[in-house]
Structure 1
């Protein structure tokens, strides 16, 4: 029983690592991370978020 308690987690770790490698093989990521825009950024426009602001009195 003690042998199973040692080998089952080790085998499960091997399976998880193997699946991770298999996923990287099937779904390769972007090879050029330098030109990737960070998530959550918005493009900068010449107009504000609400368009042209009203003139101040």
Structure 2
């Protein structure tokens, strides 16, 4: 029982961190899209 009490918070922390990483991959932030648009512009000569 003590082992379950120790492992449960660690497993829950891992799940929360994994979901955060998944969200970052699935939904890029608005700052990333604006910077990507600026980076694509090439100077014309």
TM-score range with shorter-chain normalisation? Answer: 0.5 to 0.7
Equivalent pairs, count: 32
Structure whose CA Rg is larger: 1
Structure 1 runs (4+) deviating above 2 angstroms are none
Q: What's the C-alpha RMSD, in Å, of the aligned pairs?
A: 0.8
More helix by share: 2
TM-score, normalising length: structure 1 = 0.53
> Which structure 1 segments of 5+ residues have no match?
33-57
TM-score, normalising length: structure 2 = 0.66
> Which structure 2 segments of 5+ residues have no match?
36-45
